[in-house]
Structure 1
Amino acid sequence: MSGDDATGSTGPSLPSTTAEGGGESNPTTEKSTSGVLDSGTTKPPEPDEQKIYQQVRQNLDPAVSIHEGHWRDTVVGDQFNVFAGRGLPLLPGPVRAEVLEWIRERYAPVAGYDRMRETLAERRLVVLCGLPESGRATTALHLLDWSAAGKVSRLDSDEDLKSVQEKDFEREHGYLAELADTDAAPALAEKHLDRLSDLLRRRDSFCVLLSADGSQRELLGGYAVDCPPPEPDTLLARHVRAAVRDEEDDGLAERLLDLAAAPDVKAALGPAPVPRELIRLAGLLVDYGRGSITLEDVRDGCAQSVPRQVSVWFSGLREVGRGASADRALRLAGFRIALAFLNNSPVHLVREAGESLGEELMKTISPRRTPGRTLSADDADGGLLASRARIVDGGVSVGEASMPVEMIEFADDRFPQAVLAHVWLSHHNMREPLIRWIRQQSRHPSLMVWMRVALAAGLLCSLDFPYALNTLIEHEASALGKKKAKGQPRIAALMLDQAARDDRVRPVILELLRAWRRHGSEAKRRTVAGTLGYELGLESPDTTLEELRILGSTWELDRISSPERHLLLVWQCRRSLARLFCFGAAGTVLDHLLAWENAGRRSLRELVHGTILELCQLYVYHLWNNGTFAAAADRERLTLPSRRRHWPVLLALQDQDSTTTRPIASLLMSALRSSGSGGIEDVLGDWTRVGERDPECLDALCRFLSNLVENAGDRQRLHHIVNRIRRHWAEPLREEVAARLEMAIDGNPYQEQAS
């Protein structure tokens, strides 16, 4: 939303904040001492703001509890160590007969299985290229069981396959090994595999190697075969039917598979389950069929797959050291965390944020080090798949237009919250680099970055509020320095708004906002004003508007300062009032603005006029909740037609609901009659441009203009606006449009209105 934070002092002339955090620029005053309106127009909200805000809040809901699971499974996992339930290292030694039998009964052939088997039979060696947890080890064991008649062993993953000798292999045996991802293990080339193949042939044995490094595939020659995961429904059916084979109820398997297809079970499992999760679901279904657990237990067990996966992703960081392999692990961790913050954002933003966080993690381990970056992106797709993420088509709005762009998102929208909660609560030493990164990203020029980061940081605040209050919120709500912004009140406002969704934290935040409103610094009061402009402020609109009234008009009571000292605070109150209007509280906001206009206080009038300036710059596409809101506090909600999305929102609202025409016209007339009406005149000029392009909008504008005329001065002022645009040096208003507007201004003379 707003780039609330100036990089200079809060004096009469305030520079733009595009260098510090992007967003919208703050208002600037040129020669005014009174006003809010003499500052001219300010940049309106970006159209994507409401979409990003609502999307992030939907994905990061503190009311949805994501708990860490317990490793209690007996038959879980997609690797050969099926009794472990997570991606543990391959342990050397023979594979037990019962494990191979278990696989035989349940294995679901993957695409390309026949080619794998042919390659293994011909070359005695095959390298299966696939991600961990994709079922590749199970496929390898099934291949070796078929080739070596059940005599299968695991090789030590650290064993140097380049130096292995013929005597190291037993006759007529199958071997499984995983190519180690260590700095000390040089990549195997095709010539090394040829030698290993000859040794195996002499012993009439077979070997399957597992590789997750797709960038090395060309070095492996004809030995490499892609190993995709099995088809989910087939895998689930094989496991369920095998588990209930001996049951007396012949129809049990089909009923359980029908249950697995139920919407609530599929939702709990997620949209893209890996084999381990499908095997776990099969076990839960069988237990349910036997009466051991309830259906709720089945759903809860499925939902635990998300925190389990996240725990596996970050478990290796406890032992991470130094070197290239450690750097890869930290970069991947940085990418996953950055994606949790920026889920469904443009590819380049997520990758850059992930690289930046990865570097922060590396510097935490080696403080004196300045990490470099690899120029190659060979591992980009691998990191994407290893993070269970995908690239999807999306769009970015530029004004009224939208341009297509590729976005990255998790395949399961539960992952962002699970990743953030796990990292924050289970990896305390990651907090410091993460906080540095949050502060860095909160000053990013793109709304897509700083707003998402601020809202996600608000979730972290709700998880440990005492810690976050000092390290995140207080820092961003701190006073401005003389040379550059030390804090970003707009970031603190978003953090507080998001954290307040947690019922445990909300009372504390409300009390904190009350204290800051009464006794806080200027920056903290700006934070309060910003926070009240979001969902938290809608919980009690009348109370919120009263708070904004006080915050936005306090300068008149300050005998030792001038209005310019509080310009940023007043400006933030204006923006929050406009945002509440966009949230759907249009009627309540209009009622209070009319009451304040008639209160007789100079500071309140200027707050009203400044808010009207903000509202005049809003278009229907700025509205939240798909353009649905209450035009009046006691009336049903209405929705503005989508065909009018480019109309000025005040014009569209009064045209849709005639009961709002008089209040809107009254507020606009008051602003136009004020000494600093230049900003309002400018945006009314913009309205005529919209009417010039849209005949329906022009008709509505002509009908509305007569409501702005109560005396000769009103009519003369509107004629001046039309004439100024008609004589514009670059884009003069078309004569027929100008003539229609002038007829509308003169069509309902003020004398007749008075009578």
Structure 2
Amino acid sequence: MSDSEESVAGETPTSDPEPIEDAESEANQIRERATDSERRRESRAVANARFEALGAMDGRLSLTANTVIFGATQVGTLIGRDNYGGGSGAGFERSGRVEPHKLHDLEQIFAPPPKFEQLCDRLGTQSVLLLRAPKGWGRTATALRALSRQCAGGVHKLSPDAELRSLDIEFDRCTGYLFDTPHSQQLRTLSEFHLEELGRRLVEVESRLIVVVDDQAELSPDAGPFVLEVGDPADVQAILRKHLLHQLAEDDLSVLSRLEVTTLLSMVEEHRPSAHELVNLAARLVDVAAGRIDIAEVAGRYAAAEDNRFREWFDALDSNTRPFAIALAVFNNMPLHIVSEAGRALARSIVDAEALDGDARSGQTVFGVRSTELLSRAQAQSYRSHEDTLYGRITVDAVRFVDERFPQRLLEYAWQEYSAAHELVRDWLRELGGADDLRVSTRAGVAVGLLSTFEFEYVRRLVIEPWADSGRQHDQYAAIGALQFSSLQPELAPLVADMLEAWVQPTQPMARRVTATAALGSTVGQLMPDRALRLLRRSARSTDADLRDAVCYSMIELFSSRELDVCVLRDLRRWTVSRRRGVRYTGFLCILQLSFDLVVETVGSVLPWPRLVWLADQSSEHRDHIVVLFARLMQAPYYPPAAFAEIKRWVHVAERDPQFRGPLGRLLVDLETADQNNGIVPYHLSEWAGEDGGPRAAVDELLEMLDAKQGV
């Protein structure tokens, strides 16, 4: 098909339905809009926010990060908490001396974490250490192993009721002491003074003490010199191999290479269950190797038991923690202040609803629950992150679930099991969709999209369409985010496609048309590119600035999707020769925005390169399309100033990055050949070089390339 043919089925070329008296003014507006840095920044921010929101919500519902016990454990559960074996009284003592034979067995099956040697080195020079680690990391076994290696006189566990600040503990010579997870109040008041005094007493008897503390525990502000953050836990495969070797012959380890086992272990590694659970899994693999149980049964039990634990955990949450956990599911990995504010808003809605039902039991007070306690109950953790503000980047406390599968799983469970909460959660998310913060509105939209997979029609009418029709930008972004999950469901994808086709019709409200058009570049359109491009061409007929922007936004997103860039360029070739001026001019706008918006980092380059120039140098197919499109832009009435302004920007990049001159020169040679007005490219190059601060070095090299080509 030639470029001049109209390629959309059922569409007959006609004159423009919306003629514009001043075409030159329209072209100038398009040029200004295409090179608007604020528009480009916001477009990138919108795409990034949706990508991050989908990534934060994308969990896997297979394995667990919590403890599951299948019965009497045949392999010692040393790598998590204080369990050793399955028999009564077989574990490490609650307090007192740890039997030497148990320390010996620990040595045989212990898989050291990456920071183990650092821990041992610190213990050699420092008599007191606060080992900070999350529950299930393997912290007890790690501490015991380090102490037994350092202290020849054995290891003792201090009573949970011991008071370190009292300094009344009698320490034996050359002995290692473990104090496992003391009460939070004692940790908060265990100051540097107490720790130093404790350390001096231990040095006198050549002994060592490790205090194991939760990663969320609040410590005394001056305790920092005594704290060791544990880092990553031991490797999953190493833990399993150690435990299997303790029970099996070397030849029997082939069980680890069985396809069903490697599939199970790949999920275990991805979602990292607790150390205790890994030991239980090793025990089950011993049974698999011995033929006592099938691996499918192991995987099934594993998933079923974990699912039950998740339900019990969520159902047991109190009235403060449950709204916070739901908010965290929507805003996982976001600043604590955003999650907390959203959680409080949901809690207020719940209290109001219960008050109407005569069941107002808030229990909420301003200083009722400390953040560390809230995070612990919600199985979440805080970490230092950054936030981009209007005036620059700042450091913030962000929060996330310890288990990355929780966001999706929690929302799905709450929706399926608590129907009375549907209206509350739906209204809460709808309001958040209009938030001034782009991240908040996008996250709310993606969460609504997840819920729409359960009742698409209800959510569409009550939330998604009101967002789309509001005309407010962040509401529209929320609506687009909401369509992502439903478009991935085979049973819903056709409905979403038909809905968007209806929404882009000229008879629809403009706000709805803009929303649908912008959605066609996202996951929705990437799964049906031919249909998306056809619908975008329909929207491209309009001269409405917002609708044109939405078209270009979607074309850029499709272009950025793998293997769709050629399809986009091919369609733009058709658009730019359309008899409809709206389609033609929108095509020119898309070309300019593709060039202005998209960059690529190359090895050794000083600056990012315009992606169109880079692509033209990578592939003859891309090159042909890009040369044709820019040549048309250079020749179309009213558009040469925009085309040459963009080429000038390329030349200035080449001035600062000499490596870019070769790819740019090769493209300019082809553009000069394709342009009917020969000599126009060298003319402009010379003119730019003559300006104050002009790109003289780049122009000299580019002109040499053009001259060399003409001499061939």
TM over 0.5: yes
Confirm whether residue 41 of structure 1 aligns to residue 7 of structure 2: no
- Distance across 2 between alignment mates of 1:370 and 1:508: 45
Alignment correspondent of 2:433: 439
1:488 alignment partner, SS class:
helix
* Match runs of 1:235-250 below 5 Å: 236=240, 240=244
Shift of 1:227: 9.5
In the superposition, relative to structure 1, how do residues 209 and 507 fare at CA in structure 2: closer, same or farther (>3 Å)?
Answer: same
Normalising by structure 2, we get a TM-score of 0.64
Alignment correspondent of 2:589: 610
The answer on whether the counterparts of 1:533 and 1:577 sit within 8 Å (CA) in structure 2 is yes
Shift of 1:477: 1.8
- Distance across 1 between alignment mates of 2:612 and 2:55: 28
The answer on whether the counterparts of 2:346 and 2:428 sit within 8 Å (CA) in structure 1 is no
Confirm whether residue 489 of structure 1 aligns to residue 481 of structure 2: no
> Which of 574, 580, 586 is the matching residue for 2:552?
574
Alignment correspondent of 2:534: 546
Alignment correspondent of 1:167: none
Confirm whether residue 270 of structure 1 aligns to residue 236 of structure 2: no
Alignment correspondent of 1:289: 289
Q: Which amino acid aligns with 1:531?
A: A
In the superposition, relative to structure 1, how do residues 391 and 106 fare at CA in structure 2: closer, same or farther (>3 Å)?
Answer: farther
* Match runs of 1:90-239 below 5 Å: 96-98=88-90, 104=102, 130-135=133-138, 179-180=182-183, 211-212=213-214, 214-216=217-219, 236=240
Q: Which amino acid aligns with 1:544?
A: A
Shift of 1:573: 0.8
- Distance across 1 between alignment mates of 2:492 and 2:293: 35
In the superposition, relative to structure 1, how do residues 738 and 506 fare at CA in structure 2: closer, same or farther (>3 Å)?
Answer: same
Shift of 1:733: 2.7
> Which of 308, 317, 339 is the matching residue for 1:357?
339
Shift of 1:439: 3.1
Shift of 1:285: 0.8
Shift of 1:267: 1.4
2:483 alignment partner, SS class:
helix
> Which of 695, 699, 704 is the matching residue for 2:665?
699
1:270 alignment partner, SS class:
helix
- Distance across 1 between alignment mates of 2:518 and 2:346: 34
- Distance across 2 between alignment mates of 1:571 and 1:362: 37
* CA distances 1:486-533 after superposition (whole Å, capped 9, x unpaired): 643234224313431122332232232122223542222222212221
Q: Which amino acid aligns with 1:419?
A: P
* Match runs of 1:513-592 below 5 Å: 513-518=500-505, 520-553=508-541, 555=542, 563=543, 566-583=544-561, 584-592=563-571
The answer on whether the counterparts of 2:434 and 2:475 sit within 8 Å (CA) in structure 1 is no
Normalising by structure 1, we get a TM-score of 0.61
* Match runs of 1:626-705 below 5 Å: 646-658=608-620, 661=623, 663-672=625-634, 673-692=636-655, 693=658, 694-705=660-671
- Distance across 2 between alignment mates of 1:746 and 1:134: 66
- Distance across 1 between alignment mates of 2:130 and 2:581: 79
In the superposition, relative to structure 1, how do residues 585 and 214 fare at CA in structure 2: closer, same or farther (>3 Å)?
Answer: closer
The answer on whether the counterparts of 2:669 and 2:709 sit within 8 Å (CA) in structure 1 is no
Alignment correspondent of 1:476: 467
- Distance across 1 between alignment mates of 2:466 and 2:280: 45
In the superposition, relative to structure 1, how do residues 228 and 135 fare at CA in structure 2: closer, same or farther (>3 Å)?
Answer: farther
Alignment correspondent of 1:416: 404
2:469 alignment partner, SS class:
coil
Alignment correspondent of 2:492: 505
- Distance across 1 between alignment mates of 2:554 and 2:406: 31
- Distance across 2 between alignment mates of 1:492 and 1:662: 37
The answer on whether the counterparts of 1:106 and 1:239 sit within 8 Å (CA) in structure 2 is no
- Distance across 1 between alignment mates of 2:589 and 2:615: 19
Shift of 1:548: 0.7
Q: Which amino acid aligns with 2:135?
A: P
The answer on whether the counterparts of 1:306 and 1:418 sit within 8 Å (CA) in structure 2 is no
In the superposition, relative to structure 1, how do residues 568 and 741 fare at CA in structure 2: closer, same or farther (>3 Å)?
Answer: farther
Q: Which amino acid aligns with 2:70?
A: D
Q: Which amino acid aligns with 1:356?
A: I
In the superposition, relative to structure 1, how do residues 726 and 264 fare at CA in structure 2: closer, same or farther (>3 Å)?
Answer: same
In the superposition, relative to structure 1, how do residues 260 and 278 fare at CA in structure 2: closer, same or farther (>3 Å)?
Answer: farther
- Distance across 2 between alignment mates of 1:688 and 1:34: 22
Q: Which amino acid aligns with 1:671?
A: L
Shift of 1:134: 3.9
- Distance across 2 between alignment mates of 1:667 and 1:228: 53
* CA distances 1:439-496 after superposition (whole Å, capped 9, x unpaired): 377733x7xx87677656644544554564356533432322xxxx364323422431
The answer on whether the counterparts of 1:590 and 1:664 sit within 8 Å (CA) in structure 2 is yes
In the superposition, relative to structure 1, how do residues 436 and 265 fare at CA in structure 2: closer, same or farther (>3 Å)?
Answer: same
In the superposition, relative to structure 1, how do residues 264 and 524 fare at CA in structure 2: closer, same or farther (>3 Å)?
Answer: same
The answer on whether the counterparts of 1:189 and 1:219 sit within 8 Å (CA) in structure 2 is yes
1:264 alignment partner, SS class:
helix
Alignment correspondent of 2:572: 593
Q: Which amino acid aligns with 1:681?
A: F
Shift of 1:357: 0.8
- Between the two proteins, the alignment pairs up a number of residues equal to 609
5+ long unaligned stretches in structure 2: 1-22, 94-98, 148-153, 167-176, 196-208, 352-363
* CA distances 1:286-312 after superposition (whole Å, capped 9, x unpaired): 332343433344456667798688668
- Distance across 2 between alignment mates of 1:454 and 1:442: 14
- Distance across 1 between alignment mates of 2:666 and 2:605: 14
The answer on whether the counterparts of 2:654 and 2:698 sit within 8 Å (CA) in structure 1 is no
CA-based RMSD: 6.4
- Distance across 2 between alignment mates of 1:603 and 1:492: 26
- Distance across 2 between alignment mates of 1:696 and 1:615: 21
Shift of 1:734: 0.9
In the superposition, relative to structure 1, how do residues 705 and 283 fare at CA in structure 2: closer, same or farther (>3 Å)?
Answer: same
5+ long unaligned stretches in structure 1: 1-28, 85-94, 144-148, 164-173, 194-206, 343-349, 397-402, 556-562, 627-640, 750-755
In the superposition, relative to structure 1, how do residues 371 and 701 fare at CA in structure 2: closer, same or farther (>3 Å)?
Answer: farther
The answer on whether the counterparts of 1:442 and 1:491 sit within 8 Å (CA) in structure 2 is no
Q: Which amino acid aligns with 1:578?
A: I
- Distance across 2 between alignment mates of 1:478 and 1:372: 40
Worse overlay, 499-508 or 53-62: 53-62
* Match runs of 1:728-747 below 5 Å: 728-729=691-692, 731-734=693-696, 737=699, 740-741=702-703, 744=706
Shift of 1:608: 1.6
The answer on whether the counterparts of 2:595 and 2:610 sit within 8 Å (CA) in structure 1 is yes
Q: Which amino acid aligns with 1:358?
A: S
- Distance across 2 between alignment mates of 1:383 and 1:677: 62
The answer on whether the counterparts of 2:446 and 2:482 sit within 8 Å (CA) in structure 1 is yes
